[in-house]
Amino acid sequence: MSAAVCLQNVHKVYNGVSVVNDLSLNIEAGEVFGLLGPNGAGKSTTIRMATTLTRPSDGHVVVAGYDVNRQQLDVRRQIGVVLQQTSVDGDMTVWENMEFHGRMHHIPNPQRRTTIDTWLEYVELGDRRDDKVKTLSGGMKRRLQIARALLHNPKILFLDEPTVGLDPQTRRRLWEIIRGLNQQGMTMLLTTHYMEEVEYLCDRIGILDQGKLIELGTLEQFRQRHGEGIVMTQQGDSQGDRSAQRWKYQFFPTLEAANAYLDRQPDKTGMMTRPSNLEDIFVELTGRNLD
């Protein structure tokens, strides 16, 4: 079976600066794929190219079997897009936003109204259908964006930092909505700044840095490659300014190996072991935190 999203040797250059550099990547049907990277790594640009919002400078992007340069309309029929920026009309009601989007996709009545009702109930906005969007909370607006993106029954959903700026409870509720959609068979490409979001939702992960794909695989594959155990050693004066304190991280193939290393140290002050996680590996690869 062919990939749902296929990028081959893709480049994007803005004003002589390479934002995406020779990116090759396949996302399989039914997969939730997480794209990580520091700010400016090229994540949002990659989504914009895959969703026909900007053209690649070079290379090929195929989405749901259609070329994004030559078959833009066909691509748009197959995808739903939830961008980081709130893109619903605040002066229209929840229902009017959905109705307008349905008409733009030429969904006929009565199917359109039935489908609107279905998705508003799915994202728990059925009781707010007559409210102006500007009266909704940030989380409700994001849920409305998801419902709108699903209205025309897309095969692939692109989510560009869908939970940014939301409180933890709202973020968790959106995770459940996203996971539920995937369990129904929807393919998703997700960018985020929350490591726990990737660990909870994503089947595979790609890490971008300075426009290049520097790591690809599952979290378990990452941990096997880089180490499943960590020894943390506190640097600096532990009695002094907390802001001056730093930690040195050493990776070991297993947690047992990390514990054995710690046991051999004559002075264990300021040292501890624990299992590695995605953030550890991200910082090891990029040299900086995600934020």
| 264 part of a folded domain | yes
User: If you average pLDDT over every residue of the chain, what do you get?
Assistant: 91
End-to-end Cα, the chain, rounded Å: 37
In a domain, 43, yes or no: yes
For residue range 180-224, list pLDDT tens digits in order: 999 999 999 999 888 999 999 999 999 999 999 999 999 999 999
Amino acid at 272: M
24: pLDDT strictly greater than 80: yes
Share of the chain above pLDDT 70, in %: 95
Q: Is there a domain that residue 263 lies in?
A: yes
Q: List, in sequence order, every residue forming a beta bridge with 250; answer none if it has no partner.
A: 231
Q: How far apart are CA 135 and CA 128, in angstroms?
A: 10
Indicate whether 240 and 99 sit together in one domain.
no
pLDDT of residue 245: 65
Residue 99 lies in a domain: yes
Query: How crowded is the C-beta side of 37, counted as CA atoms within 13 Å?
Result: 25
Predicted pLDDT at 290: 45
DSSP secondary structure of 112-146: HHHHHHHHHHHTT-GGGTTSBGGGS-HHHHHHHHH
Q: What angle (nearest 5°) sits at the alpha carbon of residue 261, between those of residues 256 and 267?
A: 135
List the domain range (segments joined by +) for residue 211: 5-222
Q: Are residues 26 and 160 in the same domain?
A: yes
Cβ 281 vs Cβ 222: under 8 Å: yes
Mean pLDDT of 71-98: 92
Average pLDDT over residues 280-288: 86
Domain harbouring 110, CATH code: 3.40.50.300
State whether 92 and 161 are in the same domain.
yes
Measuring CA to CA, which residue among 53, 55, 79, 80 is closest to residue 69? 55
- pLDDT of 240 over the 60 cut: no
**SS3 label, residue 71:** coil
Quick one: 60 and 166 in the same domain?
A: yes
Asked if the structure places residue 204 within a domain, the reply is yes
Higher-pLDDT residue of 287 and 66 is 66
Which residues, 6 or more positions from 92, have their beta carbon under 8 angstroms from its beta carbon? 100, 132, 133
pLDDT digits (tens, 9 = 90+) for 259-274: 999 999 999 999 999 9
Q: Which amino acid is at 60?
A: H
Residue 64 phi/psi, 5-degree rounding, is 55, 35
Per-residue pLDDT, 243: 55
- Residues 6 or more apart whose CB falls under 8 angstroms from that of 85 comprise none
Q: What are the pLDDT digits (tens) for 39-56?
A: 889 999 999 999 999 999
Same domain, yes or no: 160 and 239: no
Q: Are residues 102 and 189 in the same domain?
A: yes
* 88 and 141 fall within a common domain: yes
Judge whether 208 and 214 are in contact, CB under 8 Å: yes
The answer to whether position 40 is within a domain reads yes
Q: Same domain for 173 and 233?
A: no
Residue 157 has pLDDT above 60, yes or no: yes
pTM of structure: 0.88
CA nearest 42: which of 23, 61, 68?
23
Across the range 138-148, mean pLDDT stands at 92
Shared domain for 127 and 212, answered yes or no, is yes
pLDDT value of residue 242: 55
Looking at 183, 205, 222, the residue that finishes a domain is 222
Dist CA 72 CA 67 (whole Å):
7
Number of domains the chain contains? 2
Same domain as 48, residue 133: yes
Q: Are residues 269 and 187 in the same domain?
A: no
- pLDDT of 239 > 70? The answer is no
Whether residues 36 and 169 share a domain: the answer is yes
The per-residue pLDDT for 291 is: 45
Residue 284 covered by a domain: no
Alpha-carbon distance of 219 to 291, in angstroms, equals 20
Does residue 250 belong to any structural domain of this protein? yes
